[in-house]
Amino acid sequence: MRTVEISEEPIRLGQFLKLAQLAEDGGHAKELIEDGEVHVNGSVELRRGAQLRDGDVVVVEGDEVRISVRR
């Protein structure tokens, strides 16, 4: 599992997927989410605007990323 730092929370799921390089762009992020391929803290997340916070874990196609707020 890798960690990606964000400057402030919350961050929207679609934005985070791009930041963490789990999606190539916004369209790809939308597609991944709509296809049910994105898990947040163990549950499928279907809302592109879902709010993510420090400590949340996002999984896409086996790639696990933990969110950390830069302090």
CA pair distance 57, 65, nearest whole angstrom = 6
Report pLDDT digits (tens) over 17-27.
999 999 999 99
Question: At residue 34, does pLDDT exceed 90?
Answer: yes
pLDDT value of position 71: 77
Beta bridge partners of 33: none
Report pLDDT digits (tens) over 44-55.
999 999 999 999
| Sequence-ordered alpha helix ranges (H) in 1-71 | 13-19, 26-34
pTM confidence score? 0.94
What is the percent of the chain where pLDDT is above 90? Answer: 97
Contact (Cβ atoms closer than 8 angstroms) between residue 11 and residue 52: yes
CA pair distance 63, 45, nearest whole angstrom = 15
